Amino acid sequence: MTSAEPYAFIQARMNSSRYPGKSLAPLAGIPIIERVIERVNNALPESEVVVLTTRNRAENPLVLHLENQDVAVYRGHPTNVFHRFRSALKEYPCSSFFRICGDSPFLEPTLFQKAKDIYNINKHDVVTNVCPRDFPAGKSVELLNTNAFERVNGAELSEDQKEHVTKYFYDNQNSYSIIDIKYMGDKWANKNFAVDTLSDLKRLEGELENGTLDEQMFEVQ
């Protein structure tokens, strides 16, 4: 049965070249992936959360951890992330879905609701806040129409488009209905809320523990 509520697909893996094992790395005592899931659950209480990872053995610790937390996991293609999402939709059918990066422990709940409100008006192909990007890294929100996603010919995708799930749509904006959520401020324009490296984790952990990580809501248009 196809879900009317958007699913939340979180892509995560353990063999990141810049920071291996970061999904389970503790940020102030809590694994990054758990912080991401908590943010998504708070933002989308009616949506099912599924972590999409690869079939590689390196992901086994992540999968075991998530299963012990009763979090749904889908294991798919190790390098073709677009294909991983496409095949996950067969197991978790839904009319729309969020693509969420597993390295973003400080996602903004208000942005998810804003994306849903926009999507529910006209069922756009993509509702996003990164086309063009004016929100800081780690605050990205992308909501995709499943029908539009499934109409893409996977055989025609470039290697970059296979790795970056939404890139095909942004490369072909004139062919799709894409709505961009605008950031009205500039305070956080150059801030990085994502964990790409160990130094990112240490910086964010220090700011969180010192109370200097301002998490006020973002003003959006």
pLDDT of residue 218: 55
Distance CA 143, CA 47 (A): 13
pLDDT of residue 46: 87
Taking residues 94-98, report their average pLDDT.
Answer: 97
pLDDT of residue 17: 82
Distance CA 86, CA 166 (A): 12
Taking residues 181-208, report their average pLDDT.
Answer: 86
Mean pLDDT of the chain: 92
pLDDT of residue 188: 67
Instruction: For residue range 25-65, list pLDDT tens digits in order.
Output: 999 999 999 999 999 999 999 899 999 999 999 999 999 99
**pLDDT above 70 coverage of the chain, percent:** 94
Instruction: For residue range 172-184, list pLDDT tens digits in order.
Output: 999 999 999 988 7
149 conformational bin, left if phi > 0, alpha if psi -120 to 50, beta if neither? alpha
Instruction: For residue range 3-30, list pLDDT tens digits in order.
Output: 889 999 999 999 888 899 999 999 999 9
CA 50, distance to chain mean position in Å, is 11
Q: What is the 3-state secondary structure (H, E, C) of 89-101?
A: HHHCCECEEEEEE
For 220, which DSSP code?
Answer: B
Residue 8 in contact with residue 48, Cβ under 8 Å? yes
HSE of 126, CA atoms in CB hemisphere, 13 A: 24
Provide Rg for the chain, Cα atoms.
17
- What's the pLDDT band for 94 if we cut at 50, 70, 90? very high
Residue 51 in contact with residue 14, Cβ under 8 Å? no
Identify residue 190 by its one-letter amino acid code. Answer: N
Cα separations (Å) of 64 from 58, 89, 125?
11, 22, 34
In CATH, what number does 7-210 get?
A: 3.90.550.10
Distance CA 32, CA 73 (A): 16
Instruction: For residue range 103-147, list pLDDT tens digits in order.
Output: 999 999 899 999 999 999 999 999 999 998 888 899 999 999 999
